[in-house]
């Protein structure tokens, strides 16, 4: 081969590894290295566009700073090791823990950025190789209330409609998120729809970019979503604006809901939420009069101690207005990571097998036990935060964490660090040295998305293929191969797959949602939306068109409750967490990009001008933010995006970790921590003002 032909670039089709939108990308490879990224012109989701993070994907998987060999910690220093030695250390510790405390002394954290095949392997490893249901992933701290809440009301905990429905709506309602920040391609489609005449209603404590464009912005107090929605429902019922025929034919428990929301008249709701009565009435009229109203929400709904009830209230609103089951309508939670939907679908949760089949149901256990040829545990396992608590108590002795960084992302950082330090053995499967990996006893090098085959499932339930563009560096392997090798060492040989496709075929055989899918069908259709089976061989773009997954939609009365921690004299300000357009997650991917890092190089505190004036704070003033759990120092950005009395921090920066402040009080149903609201004090470090 001559030099010229060797230097010719090659484009490999793939899927963006950032948020849950699932954009199509082409990875440009030159001399065995990814040198650039371009959008796929005909991709149905991204339509030939990418956001700034998508364009910077090459930096996220660059071989610089990658972990390329197993590492074992000795005397607080990592040394390279062989796979055999690393497996031996892990096997001995896991076996000892099982012998002394039982299989539930082990915990597995899967990864919402890994493939479906990797996540399937993680939960199978926990259940079949180890004998525990202690498996979870980061959906616990983002959308577990969506799964729990929507399964109760509709029977399915996923986005009901497709992204294309944005252009089919005549009203778009956005609760507790700003898609232009973290779901930028979807956010761009919302802006285009607005410019084309679609009305926009935003419900958010912040004055976001979309709130500034909205026809109506309900700027409610942090943690008052249920009160606001109950108030909208009271107005709807009082004025006879409900979808009478839809409620009669397709819903149940209407009278109980009517009785509950009657206690939330506009004057009471205005007092709780801070939203004027006339705006509440306008919003209720807007939503019910729209022919097609598409409702979408984010973690401003889920990350509360009332997270599951917040989602239930969202469902109540859509059902009462009949804004579900048709194109351009629906309830559409925005997933934060590229495969958080898929990780849930794969059963990387402590209570369900793949396809949301309950581990506590004997028929489900028998089905999977027969396929996996292994007796399976009967009781649901620990959540990720439950494992943290178990590590501190000594009940959990060893953990394996795939591609997650709970030291930066989980609430109450000191609590997390103490728990991980208390383990007999911490194993981390990673690409780079994260804050959590630095605490590990053994690190196993993982292949990136660009170095392996598999599938991702985006927020609209679209299962899409990825394929390797380059080989993995050094001795790095796909997660499923790593777990399969470890399972064999532990005496279980049911994970010795030959390929990712073989795993996917096993998934399709066991999960009714994926039953009609195969790699060739996914390749031919830019992916397929589940459920895909004999009844829907080409997938299902729209859920609940004729009936709900549970039969009738269930209306469930819920009550307003304040956040677990309210401002007081000692900690007088509300604190909330946000995302930034140029960064993602714990920053381990975006902060490798000099382009993205240049835009937002460090953590910041957003503060309202009125609060800044009271504290003698100017732009870029050095401040200390203190809560009952810890303190963080950073610099200020003065903005009217946050209301008076509330400050906000992004959670992408390890040197200014907002999770050192956040509250680990939990939703009783899902154990979702209350990351969106706690009380803080801000100290001006330049003149000592409090």
- Considering only CA atoms, which of 363, 368, 367, 410 is closest in space to residue 389? 410
Model's pTM, two decimal places?
Answer: 0.94
Q: Residue 516: in which H helix or E strand, if any?
A: none
Q: Give the span between the Cα atoms of 541 and 265, in whole angstroms.
A: 37
**What is the DSSP pairing of strand 604-607 with strand 646-650?**
antiparallel
Helix, coil or strand: residue 427: strand
Q: In sequence order, which residues have a C-beta less than 8 Å from that of residue 257 and are 6 or more positions away?
A: 233, 316, 320, 555, 556, 557
Q: What is the per-residue pLDDT for 3?
A: 41
Q: In the beta sheet, which residues pair with residue 606? A: 637, 648
How far separated are the first and last CA of the chain, in Å rounded?
A: 69
Please give the backbone phi and psi of residue 476, each rounded to the nearest 5 degrees, phi first.
-65, 145
Closest to 486 in 3D by CA, of 83, 72, 80: 83
- List the Cα angle 672/677/678 in 5-degree steps: 110
CA distances from 528 to 117, 461, 676 (A): 16, 8, 34
Q: Name the DSSP class of 673.
A: B
pLDDT of 590 = 67
Q: Regarding the domain with residue range 160-334, which homologous superfamily does it belong to in the CATH classification?
A: Dimethylsulfoxide Reductase, domain 2 (3.40.228.10)
pLDDT for the residue numbered 4: 43
Structure tokens that stand for 309 in this block: 């009830």
Instruction: Look at residue 5 in the predicted model and tell me its pLDDT.
Output: 44
pLDDT at 7: 53
Count of all residues that appear for the chain in the document: 690
Determine contact, residues 207/217, Cβ cutoff 8 Å. Answer: yes
Runs of H (alpha helix) within 274-358 = 277-289, 299-302, 307-321, 340-345
In the chain, list all ranges with CATH 2.20.25.90.
3-60
Helices in 170-265 by DSSP H: which ranges?
179-182, 184-195, 209-213, 225-239, 244-250, 254-261
- As annotated, the residues of the chain forming the CATH 2.40.40.20 domain(s) are 573-684
Q: Look up residue 498 and give its two tokens.
A: 């030959």
Q: Is the peptide bond before 65 cis (omega within 30 degrees of 0)?
A: no
All CATH 3.40.228.10 domain ranges in the chain, comma separated: 160-334
- Contact indicator for 217, 226 with CB cutoff of 8 Å: no
Q: Which CATH number fits domain 71-140+338-455+468-525: 3.30.43.10, 3.40.50.740, 3.40.50.880, 3.40.50.800?
A: 3.40.50.740
Domain covering 573-684, topology: Barwin-like endoglucanases (2.40.40)
3-state secondary structure of 447: coil
Q: Are 142 and 150 in contact (CB under 8 A)?
A: no
For residues 227 and 273, is the Cβ–Cβ distance under 8 A? yes
Question: Which two structure tokens, joined as six digits, stand for 172?
Answer: 């778009």
d(CA 388, CA 370): 32
Tell me, what's the pLDDT at 436?
Answer: 95
What is the token pair recorded at 470?
Answer: 């380059």
Token pair recorded at residue 409: 């992302």
Tokens of 374: 């292994």
Q: Provide the token pair at 673.
A: 């921590």
- Tell me which fold the domain 3-60 belongs to: N-terminal domain of TfIIb (2.20.25)
**Residue 508 buriedness (CB in 10 A; 0-12 / 13-18 / 19+):** buried
* Spatial distance between the Cα atoms of 403 and 447, rounded to a whole number of angstroms: 11
Distance CA 297, CA 301 (A): 7
CB of 123 within 8 A of CB of 487?
Answer: no
- CATH 3.40.50.740 in the chain, residues? 71-140+338-455+468-525
Instruction: State the Cα–Cα distance between residues 241 and 347, nearest whole angstrom.
Output: 40
Structure tokens at 544: 């609940």
DSSP conformation class of 220: P
Please tell me the predicted confidence (pLDDT) of residue 544.
96
What is the C-alpha separation between 637 and 647, in angstroms, rounded? 10
Query: Measured between alpha carbons, how far is 149 from 71 in angstroms, rounded to an integer?
Result: 41
183: helix, strand or coil: coil
**Pairing between β-strand 454-457 and β-strand 171-175 as defined by DSSP bridges:** unpaired
**In which residue ranges of the chain is pLDDT below 70?**
1-8, 581-582, 584-588, 590, 592, 601, 653, 688-690
Instruction: Tell me the C-alpha to C-alpha distance, in Å, between residue 548 and each of 84, 143, 151, 543.
Output: 50, 20, 10, 8
Do 552 and 315 meet the contact criterion of CB atoms below 8 Å apart?
no
């Amino acid at each position: 081969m001559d030099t010229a032909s060797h230097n010719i670039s090659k484009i490999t089709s793939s899927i963006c590894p950032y948020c849950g939108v699932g954009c199509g990308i082409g990875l440009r490879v030159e001399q065995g290295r990814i040198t650039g990224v371009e959008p796929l012109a005909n991709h149905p989701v991204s339509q030939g566009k990418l956001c700034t993070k998508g364009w910077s994907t090459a930096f996220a998987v660059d071989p610089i700073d990658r972990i390329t060999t197993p590492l074992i910690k000795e005397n607080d220093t990592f040394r390279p090791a062989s796979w055999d030695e690393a497996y031996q250390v892990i096997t001995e510790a896991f076996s000892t823990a099982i012998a002394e405390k039982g299989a539930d002394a082990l915990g597995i954290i899967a990864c919402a950025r890994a493939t479906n095949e990797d996540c399937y392997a993680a939960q199978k490893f926990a259940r079949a190789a180890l004998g525990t249901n202690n498996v979870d992933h980061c959906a616990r701290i983002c959308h577990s209330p969506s799964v729990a809440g929507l399964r109760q009301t509709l029977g399915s905990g996923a986005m009901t409609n497709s992204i294309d429905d944005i252009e089919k709506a005549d009203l778009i309602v956005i609760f507790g998120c700003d898609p232009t920040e973290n779901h930028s391609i979807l956010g761009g489609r919302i802006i285009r729809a607005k410019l084309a005449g679609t009305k926009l209603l935003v419900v958010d404590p912040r004055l976001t970019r979309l709130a500034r464009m909205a026809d109506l912005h309900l700027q409610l107090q942090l943690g008052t979503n249920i009160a606001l929605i109950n108030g909208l429902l009271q107005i709807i019922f009082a004025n006879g604006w409900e979808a009478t025929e839809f409620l009669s034919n397709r819903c149940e428990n209407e009278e109980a809901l009517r009785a509950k929301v009657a206690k939330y008249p506009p004057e009471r709701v205005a007092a709780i939420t801070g939203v004027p009565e006339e705006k509440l009435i306008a919003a209720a009229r807007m939503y019910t009069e729209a022919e097609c109203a598409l409702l979408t929400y984010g973690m401003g709904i889920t990350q509360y101690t009332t997270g599951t009830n917040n989602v239930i209230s969202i469902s109540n609103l859509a059902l009462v207005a009949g804004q579900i089951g048709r194109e351009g309508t629906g309830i559409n939670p925005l997933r934060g990571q590229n495969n958080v939907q898929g990780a849930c679908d794969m059963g990387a949760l402590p209570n369900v097998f793949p396809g949301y089949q309950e581990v506590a149901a004997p028929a489900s256990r028998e089905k999977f036990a027969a396929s996996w040829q292994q007796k399976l545990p009967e009781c649901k396992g620990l959540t990720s935060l439950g494992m943290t608590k178990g590590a501190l108590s000594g009940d959990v002795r060893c953990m394996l964490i795939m591609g997650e960084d709970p030291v930066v992302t989980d609430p109450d950082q000191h609590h997390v660090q103490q728990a991980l330090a208390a383990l007999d053995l911490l194993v981390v499967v990673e690409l780079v040295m994260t804050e959590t990996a630095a605490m590990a006893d053994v690190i196993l090098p993982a292949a990136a998305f660009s170095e392996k085959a598999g599938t991702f499932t985006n927020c609209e339930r679209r299962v899409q293929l990825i394929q390797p563009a380059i080989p993995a560096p050094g001795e790095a392997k796909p997660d499923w191969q790593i777990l399969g090798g470890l399972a064999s060492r532990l005496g279980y040989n049911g994970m010795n797959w030959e390929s990712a496709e073989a795993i996917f075929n096993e998934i399709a055989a066991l999960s009714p949602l994926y039953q009609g899918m195969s790699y060739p069908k996914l390749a031919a259709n830019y992916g397929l939306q589940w459920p895909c089976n004999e009844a829907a061989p080409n997938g299902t773009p729209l859920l609940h068109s004729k009936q709900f997954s549970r039969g009738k939609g269930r209306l469930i009365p819920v009550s307003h409750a304040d956040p677990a921690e309210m401002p007081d004299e000692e900690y007088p300000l509300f604190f909330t967490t946000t995302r930034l357009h140029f960064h993602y997650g714990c920053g381990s991917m975006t902060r490798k990009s000099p382009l993205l890092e240049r835009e937002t190089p460090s953590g910041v505190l957003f503060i309202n001008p009125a609060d800044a004036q009271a504290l003698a704070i100017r732009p870029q003033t050095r401040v200390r933010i203190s809560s009952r759990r810890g303190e963080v120092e950073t610099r200020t950005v003065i903005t009217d995006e946050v209301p008076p009395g509330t400050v906000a921090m992004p959670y992408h920066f390890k040197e200014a970790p907002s999770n050192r402040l956040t509250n680990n009080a939990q939703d009783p149903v899902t154990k979702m921590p209350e990351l969106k609201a706690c009380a803080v004090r801000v100290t001006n470090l330049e003149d000592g003002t409090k």
